[in-house]
């Protein structure tokens, strides 16, 4: 009988909020961070296109269990639309498919923005990760196929024109999960009769993480010059945010060491005290400031669903 393989790397856990550089893929970024931190596991919470920059939350170790909670969070993007051309990818990477000499005024642009706020229906770009009959839309698009992608509901909380000139307009958008900013540029251009595509895109916020949490890749790679492994890894670990920060939108239950042990063994605990939550479909428990478990609250108990190493 063969022995189970020991995982490669360190069992380091936490969130690294990377300021992803332009022209660097999200998967490539995760691989680089996993290698730098010598982590056993790594994953990201929401792809950024290679031509986009900004916030890419990367989960290491046990923090990968909290990725869905960050994926569901609000996001803020700053983006620039170049008028006059529609492209296959709806950004600078694609080939021109439509063109126009018309250019919209700031007043014309502002007048249409109300139609793109609230809950709207949006058709994702041809070059997107949407699955069509089991295939990724971008794979089909690269093979030259044009596929019918159904529209879906997305929520735009805020959309502002922050500047414009004759050929471009800059915006800031706060939106919910699944929103394609490239699709906004495409739809703006079509409605204004001038066509458009994204010429610059930067993500500045993924709830609950903000701009102050972002770490430039150069700050991390600069530490490679430290020859001592322990010293270098300690310097890198200083950039990590505790796993539990990803769950700040959920009710929190603070437990003692004995309760933490029970939860980590998969057992429920009884909640006492007038401040204890009465019920919650999802909540998280902490002990000594560290995440212990995600679970549900009901009947005076906290019942763990996912547990985290101490």
Would you please indicate which residues are annotated as catalytic (active-site) residues? 49
With contact defined as beta carbons under 8 Å apart, do 231 and 263 qualify?
A: no
Please give the distance of CA 70 from its chain centroid, rounded to a whole number: 6
Distance in angstroms (rounded) separating the CA atoms of residues 242 and 60: 10
Using CA of residue 115, residue 117, residue 121, residue 122, what is the dihedral sign?
positive
Return the HEC string of 233-291.
Answer: HHHHHCCCECHHHHHCCCCEEECCHHHHHHHHCCCCEECCCCCCCCCEEEEEEEECCEE
Distance in angstroms (rounded) separating the CA atoms of residues 163 and 91: 19
Which two structure tokens, joined as six digits, stand for 18? Answer: 């990377």
With contact defined as beta carbons under 8 Å apart, do 62 and 13 qualify?
A: yes
The total of other beta-carbon atoms located within 10 Å of residue 201's CB is 22
């Amino acid at each position: 009988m063969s022995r189970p393989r020991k995982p490669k790397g360190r069992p380091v856990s936490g969130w690294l909020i990377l300021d992803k550089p332009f022209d660097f893929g999200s998967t490539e970024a995760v691989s680089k961070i996993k290698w730098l931190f010598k982590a056993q596991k790594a994953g990201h919470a929401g792809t950024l296109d290679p031509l986009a920059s900004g916030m890419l939350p990367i989960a290491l170790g046990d923090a990968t269990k909290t990725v869905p909670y960050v994926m569901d969070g609000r996001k803020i993007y700053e983006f620039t639309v170049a008028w006059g051309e529609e492209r296959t990818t709806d950004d600078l990477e694609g080939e021109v498919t439509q063109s126009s000499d018309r250019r919209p005024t700031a007043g014309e642009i502002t007048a249409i923005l109300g139609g793109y706020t609230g809950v709207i229906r949006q058709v994702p770009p041809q070059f997107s990760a949407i699955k069509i009959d089991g295939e990724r839309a971008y794979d089909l698009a690269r093979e030259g196929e044009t596929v019918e992608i159904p529209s879906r509901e997305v929520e735009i909380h805020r959309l502002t024109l922050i500047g414009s000139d004759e050929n471009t307009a800059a915006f800031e958008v706060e939106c919910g999960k699944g929103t394609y900013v490239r699709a906004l540029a495409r739809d703006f251009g079509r409605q204004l009769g001038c066509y458009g595509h994204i010429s610059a895109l930067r993500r500045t916020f993924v709830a609950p993480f903000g701009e102050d949490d972002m770490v430039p890749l150069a700050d991390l790679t600069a530490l490679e010059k430290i020859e001592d492994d322990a010293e270098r890894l300690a310097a890198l670990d200083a950039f990590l945010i505790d796993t539990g920060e990803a769950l700040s939108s959920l009710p929190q239950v603070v437990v003692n060491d004995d309760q933490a042990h029970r939860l980590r063994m998969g057992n429920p605990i009884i909640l006492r005290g007038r401040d204890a939550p009465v019920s919650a479909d999802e909540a998280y428990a902490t002990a000594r400031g560290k995440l212990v478990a995600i679970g549900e609250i009901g009947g005076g108990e906290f019942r763990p669903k996912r547990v985290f190493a101490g």
